[in-house]
Amino acid sequence: MESKVCNIPSLLSFILILLRHCARAQANGDCPADGRTWVPFGQSCYHFVHGEEDVAKSYTIEKAKDMCQGFALLTVRNAEVNDFIVQYSPKVWKDNVNIWLGLYYDSDDDQFKWSDDSVVSFKNWVEGGSADWDIPVMDKCVALHSTTGKWENISCSEKRENGVVCEAAQKPVVIRKKNGSPLLSALVILSVIVILGVSAVIWFFHQRNSSGSSLLPSFEYHPPFRSPSADQTCLVEAEELAETS
């Protein structure tokens, strides 16, 4: 009997551990799980290419795109993301690096566009502008200075910039919650019911066995689990509570 009672809390804590694990998996699950470090920020996850991946330290924009392995190069659509990149970069690189932005020059529309063809609304050009008038528009790429956050026009073909940041969209959390939570709660409630049911059955059979084996002398040494006097005390207390309230 005693050991069975002890099993219920341990089972419950097992469920809690499972739950916590599920919650963590959900939090990480919003970023790609490809063994690389993805930093969630806002609507996206960012992978700063460095360490063993970054032996060459300097990449053409084509090589930079390759290194992102199917994910996009960095897009900076607002000041918050621009600040985030500036703040996070020192954790990855000691000095300034020029990070490729996922921008291309659309000569039909005569403007830069993000790699998903969306137009550029937030811009953070370096002041004073252009030593870059001689870059033909078709060869215009943009790099972000990791220490200042300012953007610079550079030649796509000639320049090798030394920072690569890849970006992946986070899976929308709202939809996840809608699908995930009721199922999770149902599972928890179900497992609690199952555990309580199983314990009740075990308890029931134990009680039957105990009374059946009451002829055994050993039974004498084990007082019943609930003594009637204890139950009475509870009743008296409950009555007192009912009267005072």
Ligand X SMILES: *[C@@H]1O[C@H](CO)[C@@H](O)[C@H](O)[C@H]1NC(C)=O
**Which positions touch ligand X (CB under 6 A)?**
125-126, 129-130, 132, 140, 153
Contact 99, 108 (CB under 8 A): no
Query: By C-beta, is 98 or 153 nearer to ligand X?
Result: 153
CB of 101 to ligand X, least distance (A): 11
Query: Could you tell me the smallest distance in angstroms from the CB atom of residue 146 to ligand X?
Result: 17
CA distances to 20, 74, 103, 160, 243 from 63, rounded to whole Å, are 40, 14, 15, 9, 80
For the bound state, the minimum distance from the C-beta of residue 152 to ligand X, rounded and expressed in Å, comes to: 6
* Contact indicator for 167, 73 with CB cutoff of 8 Å: yes
CB of 55 to ligand X, least distance (A): 31
Between 111 and 181, name the residue whose CB sits nearer to ligand X. 111
Contact 43, 170 (CB under 8 A): yes
Sequence-distant (≥ 6) Cβ neighbours of residue 38 within 8 angstroms: 31, 32, 45, 46, 47, 168
CA–CA separation, 81 and 85 (whole Å) = 6
The nearest distance, CB 163 to ligand X, in angstroms, is: 18
- As a whole number of angstroms, the distance between CA 142 and CA 153 comes to 5
Q: Which is nearer to ligand X, 75 or 153 (CB)?
A: 153
Smaller CB separation from ligand X, 34 or 109: 109
Between 2 and 110, name the residue whose CB sits nearer to ligand X: 110
